[in-house]
Amino acid sequence: DTAVSQTPKYLVTQMGNDKSIKCEQNLGHDTMYWYKQDSKKFLKIMFSYNNKELIINETVPNRFSPKSPDKAHLNLHINSLELGDSAVYFCASSEIAGSVGELFFGEGSRLTVL
């Protein structure tokens, strides 16, 4: 079983559309994250949830809205997609927030906006 799984792995869509990426972790972790990796491999945190509560919300456009229905799931919805949203989006989880523990990453969801 994959520890952190994301779907879809690839997503190609037109500008202006709305899309969602789903993430699930089966590690029993309390904290989940969304990271964005641009074409130069630079990684930037977007959001973090601890036990369904938002704890980190970096400077991200309002078009991005995370939702955590339970602590094992963290979804990312993006409205009115723009060309600059093209990137690889990584979901990750860790045992607890505020720790120096390991982050476990999913395989990424490559979003291409045309």
Partner 1 sequence: GDSVTQMEGPVTLSEEAFLTINCTYTATGYPSLFWYVQYPGEGLQLLLKATKADDKGSNKGFEATYRKETTSFHLEKGSVQVSDSAVYFCALSDRANDYKLSFGAGTTVTVRA
Residue 107 sits in the site that holds partner 1 (CB under 8 A): yes
Residue 64 phi/psi, 5-degree rounding, is: -95, 125
Of 18, 53, 82, 102, which one interacts with partner 1 (CB under 8 A)? Answer: 102
List the x/- string, 51-70, binding to partner 1 by CB under 8 A. ----xx--------------
Show the CA angle centred on residue 93, arms to residues 87 and 94, nearest 5°: 140
Tell me how crowded residue 52 is: count the other CB atoms within 10 A of its CB.
15
Of 52, 72, 103, 112, which one interacts with partner 1 (CB under 8 A)? Answer: 103
Residue whose pair of structure tokens reads 């989940």 in the numeric block: 32
Residue 4 sits in the site that holds partner 1 (CB under 8 A): yes
CA 27 to CA 10: how far, in whole Å? 24
The binding site for partner 1 (CB under 8 A) comprises 4, 40-45, 48, 55-56, 90, 92, 97-100, 102-108
